[in-house]
Structure 1
Amino acid sequence: MITVGVDLAAADERSGLAVISWSPGRAVVSSAYVGASDEQIVSAVRASDKAGIDCPLGWPSAFVSFVADHASGLVSPPAPGGGASWRRRLAYRMTDEVVRSSTGLIPMSVSADRIGHAAFRVAGLLSLLSPDGVPLSRAGDGQVVEVYPAASLLGWGLTHRGYKRAGLASDLVSSLLTAAPWLSLGAFEPLCRRSHDALDAVVAALAARAAATGRATQPTPEQLSAAATEGWIALPTCPLADLVNP
């Protein structure tokens, strides 16, 4: 199995990409770099069995309706005292609220934070990956799945905060390799130690493996409609060690 992880940013120079080749008892990072272009991402995803992208794959349905209503001048203001909850529905997707409830982490708002710039880019990438005009699933059941490296690291008992500060990615790499002795970073270990973008791409590829093997959260039937349009963050549900089991 081949899994790909993409730590997507609006600009190529901050976008990390990693490829992991899986075999019984072993996982090898066969490629990792920072500065991934659209063409390189599309090529890697197409060659993979599953790709995890660290970026929202859609916007809150309420926000999409709000923008359409605003363009027509038909926005209905919130009821007295309901402004905070009204704005929250515009800012956060259903999957964001699920992650918040289950992990305590608050994903960035795709409609109110700078992550929206990367989401513009991923929308184009999803179109490039759908050459026959059939939209890729945003619910995680297709070739692409939305992942959240910090939440994956939290679930695996590893440092999930602060490692993006200068010099701290190396400590997380050491912890990751201790927890997963079957994982080989090979020639890409120095890059992962100095670049959290490359490291996040590796974690995204690990999370993609969890999703590909049925060991990650999936939307319930009641959540599926929202996940199909807004996206779904797949959180690994297994220990890190289980990823390498055949």
Structure 2
Amino acid sequence: MITTLGIDLASQPRNTALCEITWDAGAATVTQLQLGALDDETLRRAIRDDHAKVGIDAPFGWPAAFVAALTGHERFERWPSLEASELAYRETDRFVHAHASKLPLSVSTDRIAYCAFRCARLLSGLDAPRDGRGLVVEAYPDAALRCWLRGSFDTARAPSYKGEAGSKRRADLVDILLSGLGEHFDIKDKWRADCVTSDDCLDALLCALVARAAERGETIPPDEDLSASARVEGWIHLPRPDTLATLTD
């Protein structure tokens, strides 16, 4: 029996969600799903529990070119002659865009940076390689759905499942996701409803599923050309297609 943990990290505890799944003998059970009241110390304790893998929806690093540009700027050096996109996006962001038709938010130019600040603080001092070789992996729930459910409908052009306006979309996604996981995946009716009510809860569930896929070697690691940047910038672990139903094996 093993457990995986998923954290939909936000800059504030009230918008952070956590999901734990127990995997045992061809079956799986969601044993915890919580939204809010998740401060840094609570999350640190959860991460340090005896989990096989932890998936976190937050950038683990910044674009190397952006960091180098800021370091040079501090020293009054000339600003590099780079395209804005080279400073805004990591190699893993470009990889996700190519493989899942979804461009992640820029950690150097968008508000997701506040979440990244918190993630760096949480993982500081842990044995947590940014490329996912250790306990934690960087997850991107929206892109994971696009990989797992690619054969079900056109996820590339589907409407967003975020916010109040996305509740109908979430209801459809939860039905398809749980159907794909199969009859040996168990989740309480209340928590299933929470995943429809809250995109944070759904994302936490997806992070725990990505953690399971990573633990089984069913996510896509960086290739040799990208491994060096992944160790510095972080690496979003996308699940391999057609692996959803095998997670409970």
- Alpha carbons 2:54, 2:208 under 8 Å: kept: yes
3-state SS in 2 of match to 1:124? helix
Per the alignment, residue 82 of structure 1 pairs with: none
* % identity of equivalent residues: 40
Per the alignment, residue 136 of structure 1 pairs with: 128
Per the alignment, residue 35 of structure 2 pairs with: 34
Per the alignment, residue 173 of structure 2 pairs with: 172
Letter of the 1:75 partner, please give it: R
2-side partners of 1:153 and 1:227: how far apart? 22
- Equivalenced residues, count: 234
Per the alignment, residue 127 of structure 1 pairs with: 124
Per the alignment, residue 88 of structure 1 pairs with: 85
Letter of the 1:241 partner, please give it: A
3-state SS in 2 of match to 1:237? coil
1-side partners of 2:241 and 2:102: how far apart? 18
- Alpha carbons 1:210, 1:238 under 8 Å: kept: no
Per the alignment, residue 101 of structure 2 pairs with: 104
Normalising by structure 2, report the TM-score: 0.89
Per the alignment, residue 10 of structure 1 pairs with: 11
3-state SS in 2 of match to 1:145? strand
- Alpha carbons 1:216, 1:238 under 8 Å: kept: no
2-side partners of 1:238 and 1:23: how far apart? 23
1-side partners of 2:186 and 2:39: how far apart? 25
The reply on whether 1:21 has 2:22 as its aligned counterpart is yes
Letter of the 1:3 partner, please give it: T
2-side partners of 1:107 and 1:244: how far apart? 28
Q: Shift of residue 75 of structure 1?
A: 2.7
Q: Shift of residue 25 of structure 1?
A: 2.2
2-side partners of 1:59 and 1:98: how far apart? 15
Q: Shift of residue 164 of structure 1?
A: 1.5
2-side partners of 1:153 and 1:100: how far apart? 14
- Alpha carbons 2:148, 2:240 under 8 Å: kept: no
- Once structures 1 and 2 are overlaid, which stretch shifts more, 216-225 or 51-60? 216-225
2-side partners of 1:161 and 1:227: how far apart? 30
1-side partners of 2:102 and 2:29: how far apart? 29
Q: Shift of residue 226 of structure 1?
A: 0.6
3-state SS in 2 of match to 1:244? coil
2-side partners of 1:216 and 1:41: how far apart? 24
Per the alignment, residue 246 of structure 2 pairs with: 242
- Alpha carbons 2:52, 2:135 under 8 Å: kept: yes
3-state SS in 1 of match to 2:21? strand
Runs (5+) with no aligned partner, structure 1: 79-84
2-side partners of 1:161 and 1:56: how far apart? 23
- Alpha carbons 2:139, 2:238 under 8 Å: kept: yes
- Once structures 1 and 2 are overlaid, which stretch shifts more, 8-17 or 39-48? 39-48
The reply on whether 1:67 has 2:59 as its aligned counterpart is no
Per the alignment, residue 195 of structure 1 pairs with: 198
- Alpha carbons 1:140, 1:146 under 8 Å: kept: yes
Per the alignment, residue 113 of structure 1 pairs with: 110
- Alpha carbons 1:145, 1:234 under 8 Å: kept: yes
Letter of the 1:164 partner, please give it: K
2-side partners of 1:119 and 1:215: how far apart? 25
Q: Shift of residue 76 of structure 1?
A: 3.0
